Structure 1
């Protein structure tokens, strides 16, 4: 099979690899789509960050060179001898969290913070390939009404959904950073009935898309001075500030904006991957602000399957391109690092370079029908 394999920073190669048959508790699937995530991009640009290089990851048993890709879906082609409830021909979305099932957090149901935390496609072999072998617990069978191009977006949508759950009940939210996860946070907040949703970013096209996905106000932060973006978001929330702000960039400026934008007693949810951030602890105490972190997700796929399959939620407006596996380096990773900002979510189709189909009844989808990227934008500035 063909697979996109990480050997080192700026060294991802589409090579031939053996298809590994499933073990007793595993399934083998033919990959339909795999999204390129900001985490993949960081591994390509200057990794390793999560990819195990020296020692194998304890849950996956894998180390570099490693097949990337953790946002994927496909059709089961074979199942292990101990697998029940799945069969060849089933269409599945992959929830790529590894879990041991035995540590205290797993026993408490919090498998996203398992002692052996990791993702297929970052700490183990993933879905940027024609075939992928994964533990059966990762595979969620899809009803007929859920198209595979939607299922490929369940992983970033799960990050957004888990962050909203971590933020708790809210009448008003601010979303700072409109990459795929930020935009899906806007979409899902609107679906959950949040009355006021303020979206902030430096990219006008992403701000316009956020408005179509449900943002009630948008804040263009391109010319914001220190603290000014946060004050604009606060003003858009009626002057009081947002109940919850979501930091979906991983930068000091975005955190400062979130803290300035939240009301007294409000909460900021850290979703972006910032290595080291600082804050004014006195102001945090005086305003009784809470900062909580959100990593991965748990128990989100069933809700997303219901929202898409039964309630008609469409995640696809964030998709801007569908490319072939052979083009994943040039039109995927390199384009996202070097482009001008017009790309949001790129899906890779191992089977064909054809574009995904979008329903003609959805105006948002029509406006964002995926095209081959001529000048793709940098992903990773916003998740």
Structure 2
């Protein structure tokens, strides 16, 4: 079967691969649609970041070269002998996070933490074998395209939870890429009264406004902290750092009110230099989030199913697997009007 395989930085190849044997606790998913994530882009531009290139991953037992893709949905083609919750023909979204499962999620969401599609073979292909515990039924109100958006939407839902966002709170989102846009959607749904989006791209800022941002700031044209404090003089209650650079990290703290919260959602591919003394005069709390609990993933499916979360507006392109490098990874690198690019596999609705 055809697959998009990561071999190294700037080296993703479309090639033929065999599907490994199905384990007793797994299902085979016929992939319909898969999204290109910012973490995929990091692996393409700067990797390996998460991809196990030197030794096998502890949880998957796999290493590069491997099939990428962790935002995907499809139809169950086959079930393992011990699978009880699902049947052939079920329409499902995939939670790609793998943990040891030794700790309750309220204690440690990331008990181990590896990713289908980053630490082992994923969904940029025709079929994928996935553990039963990572499969979530889609309601009839959601298409399989919608299902490919559940994973990134769940990232934003978990980030908003980590920020302890309350009704009426004010929010600033630094970075209006796909996860930043989804964080805007989640913050609005959670009751934020003001949602300020910041980015260098006018097209991304317009998209942010379209999806619910109450204010937009081009941080290349004006001082972002001053602009935020002109809107909320004491600083916002919660900031979300979704850009992943030193400058926005520092600005996020400076834009947060005393004893407010800054949530790191982005992936920092390189270390940054920062002095924690920066926090001592205000007591700003810093937390972080990269994925989601199983509960948050199911809640995301439910909220999308009822229409309370509507991430569909972030889709900017649909491409074929053969074009994933040029029209996918390269387009996301060079064209800031692109947000979420979906890759068509079976193309089922």
Shorter-chain TM-score range = over 0.9
Structure 2 residue aligned with 1:112, among 94, 103, 109?
A: 109
Match of 1:31 in 2: 31
Partner of 1:320, secondary structure, is strand
Structure 2 residue aligned with 1:311, among 304, 307, 310?
A: 307
Shift, 1:349, TM fit: 0.7
2:231 matches 1:236: yes
Partner of 2:154, secondary structure, is helix
Structure 2, unmatched stretches of 5+, are none
Match of 1:249 in 2: 243
Q: Select between 59-68 and 293-302 the one with higher mean Cα deviation.
A: 293-302
Structure 1, unmatched stretches of 5+, are 358-383
Alignment partners' CA distance in 2, 1:109 and 1:252: 30
Alignment partners' CA distance in 1, 2:106 and 2:32: 30
Match of 1:17 in 2: 17
2:67 matches 1:67: yes
Alignment partners' CA distance in 1, 2:85 and 2:225: 49
Structure 1 residue aligned with 2:289, among 294, 309, 321?
A: 294
Alignment partners' CA distance in 2, 1:295 and 1:324: 28
State whether residues 79 and 87 of structure 1, in contact with CA within 8 Å, keep that contact through their aligned partners in structure 2.
yes
Alignment partners' CA distance in 1, 2:108 and 2:325: 32
Match of 1:349 in 2: 344
Distance 1:23 1:110, change over 3 A: farther
Match of 1:193 in 2: 191
Structure 1 residue aligned with 2:212, among 181, 206, 214?
A: 214
Q: Select between 305-314 and 119-128 the one with higher mean Cα deviation.
A: 305-314
Which TM-score applies when normalising by structure 1?
A: 0.86
Shift, 1:111, TM fit: 5.6
Match of 1:380 in 2: none
Partner of 1:50, secondary structure, is coil
State whether residues 187 and 214 of structure 1, in contact with CA within 8 Å, keep that contact through their aligned partners in structure 2.
yes
Partner of 1:113, secondary structure, is coil
Q: Select between 303-312 and 33-42 the one with higher mean Cα deviation.
A: 303-312
Question: Could you list the per-position Cα deviations for residues 12-40 of structure 1 after superposition, in whole angstroms to 9, with x for gaps in the alignment?
Answer: 11111112342100110000111111111
Shift, 1:209, TM fit: 1.6
Partner of 2:115, secondary structure, is coil
Shift, 1:335, TM fit: 2.3
Q: Select between 183-192 and 296-305 the one with higher mean Cα deviation.
A: 296-305
**Mapping of residues 36-55 of structure 1, within 5 Å:** 36-55=36-55
Which TM-score applies when normalising by structure 2?
A: 0.95
Distance 1:122 1:14, change over 3 A: same
RMSD over aligned CA atoms reads 1.6
State whether residues 97 and 112 of structure 1, in contact with CA within 8 Å, keep that contact through their aligned partners in structure 2.
no
After the TM superposition, which segments of 4 or more aligned residues of structure 1 sit over 4 Å from their partners?
108-111
Alignment partners' CA distance in 1, 2:170 and 2:46: 37
State whether residues 99 and 111 of structure 1, in contact with CA within 8 Å, keep that contact through their aligned partners in structure 2.
no
Alignment partners' CA distance in 2, 1:109 and 1:94: 21
Alignment partners' CA distance in 1, 2:182 and 2:104: 30
